[in-house]
Amino acid sequence: MRRVAITGLGAVSPAGLTAATTWQRVVAGETAIGPLRLPRMEDVGCPVAAQAHAFDPDAHFSAKRQTSLDRVSQFAVVAAREAVADAGFLPEDPGLAKADVVIGIGVGGMNTLDDSFHRIYGERGRGVHPLTIPKLMTNAPASQISMDLGLRGNTFAVASACASGSHAIGLAFRAILHGDCDIALAGGSEACITNGTLVGWSALRILSRDTCRPFARNRNGLVLGEGSAILVLEEWERAVARNARIYAELVGFGANADAGDLTSPDQSGAEAAMQRAMASAGLAPSAIDYVNAHGTGTLMNDIVESRAIRAVFPADDLPLVSSIKGVLGHCLGAAGALEALATTLTLYHQLVPPTANCAEPDEECGLDVVAEGARPASVRHALSNSFAFGGLNAVLAFSAWKPIPSAASPAM
């Protein structure tokens, strides 16, 4: 069986416009959640969000190119460019041209959709942009990455709500394992903070009005975020042969469906997904030192996930657990990808990020959620959990690999 190395990382997030700056704020537990800012400020029922305010499309794309790119695709392309550069590929590398592109999307081009509806309904029939459909379609970020970087491998989108990014990485992982490709760009992207989206989420009554506090006694809901994370996955021997920096090894993927409630998580489904990921990796529960939790900050989700973790792992040897959504918010289709990136860097640096905003951990959760700040720890193997609406679960398993120092991105 072939092996899969993670050799490149790229990100655009509320916490930073690169993987390194995002990681720095995640490790610092410095929240990027703040007052909501929209071009058309209306009462959307939620005053806060985690937005990538510093992102400037003019710094990355010509005015002409921007007419074909929704914000969700802009994020994805910029993160992909960084990931490829970070992996040390030369533009003329023939192997890179054959790379697959698999991108998870939760809701897609919502800025384009929201603007179009505003024109149609709010401005009494004003026409929409001729590229409206290509901009908002779910596969747009994957296609735009392929075109931007000249990648001609299997390119497609994955849509499984909040598990989309993890599913995308898992499918790309399997493609390399089974010899369908040698290189894949995989991850997720989301730009969902619009008037219409926020009104819809507010109707669910699960949004916090101040901040996200995963696993905290006083948690009161999730906060929407936006951004993208892209990982370069590469066949192990190929990566070693070109002396690539290997951040970590991707060793397992487990996915399933609860076949239950549309919005309520199911403990048995979460347990089975974690068990499948470990079985795929050939790892016993006792080998897992860290779990990057889905950890949304809602009352129900955190309890159900905590119970699932306690059921799967030895009671006397529970792994460290943390959620990074207190920093980044819940980035929907990009959440699993950003969390996979954070898990990868946890293994690379042997440093567990904290659960931000968790001043008083909920004793009912019964876990060490690293509430006091980032913690140096020996992390041999780790899981990254994504549990989505629709009862769709995806868990990735990672293993540490001795890092090779590189001047390419010293902050990481």
Q: Tokens 């930073």 sit at which residue? A: 16
Residue 331: active-site member:
no
Which residue among the candidates 60, 167, 294, 381 is catalytic per the annotation? 294
Dump pLDDT digits (tens) for 137-167: 999 999 999 999 999 999 999 999 999 999 9
User: With the C-alpha atoms ordered 326, 330, 331, 336, is the resulting torsion angle positive or negative?
Assistant: positive
What end-to-end distance do the CA atoms of the chain give, in Å?
30
Answer for the pair 88, 408: CB distance below 8 angstroms, yes or no: yes
Q: The tokens 């599913």 sit on which residue?
A: 167
Residue listed under structure tokens 């990455």:
145
pLDDT in tens, the chain (412 residues): 899 999 999 999 999 999 999 999 999 999 999 999 998 877 888 999 999 999 999 999 999 999 999 999 999 999 999 999 999 997 678 899 999 999 999 999 999 999 999 888 888 777 899 999 999 999 999 999 999 999 999 999 999 999 999 999 999 999 999 999 999 999 999 999 999 999 999 999 999 999 999 999 999 999 999 999 999 999 999 999 999 999 999 999 999 999 999 999 999 999 999 999 999 999 999 999 999 999 999 999 999 999 999 999 999 999 999 999 999 999 999 999 999 999 999 999 999 999 999 999 999 999 999 999 999 999 999 999 999 999 999 999 999 986 444 434 434 5
Catalytic residue among 46, 60, 167, 330: 330
Instruction: State residue 409's pLDDT score.
Output: 42
Which listed residue (46, 60, 162, 167) is catalytic?
A: 162
**Spatial CA neighbour of 219 closest among 228, 231, 209:** 209
Q: The pTM is what?
A: 0.96
Read off the tokens for 190. Answer: 């989301």
* Domain 252-400: homologous superfamily in CATH: Thiolase/Chalcone synthase (3.40.47.10)
pLDDT of residue 406: 43
Same topology, domains 4-241 and 252-400? Answer is: yes
How far are the Cα atoms of 166, 202, 218, 333, 377 from residue 221, in angstroms, in the given order?
Answer: 22, 11, 10, 18, 29
pLDDT of residue 412: 59
Q: Give domain limits for the chain.
A: 4-241, 252-400
Give, as one character, the DSSP assignment of residue 193.
-
| The CATH fold of domain 4-241 | Peroxisomal Thiolase; Chain A, domain 1 (3.40.47)
Give the three-class secondary structure for 187.
strand
Backbone angles phi, psi at 276, to 5 degrees: -65, -40
**Active-site annotation holds for 167:** no
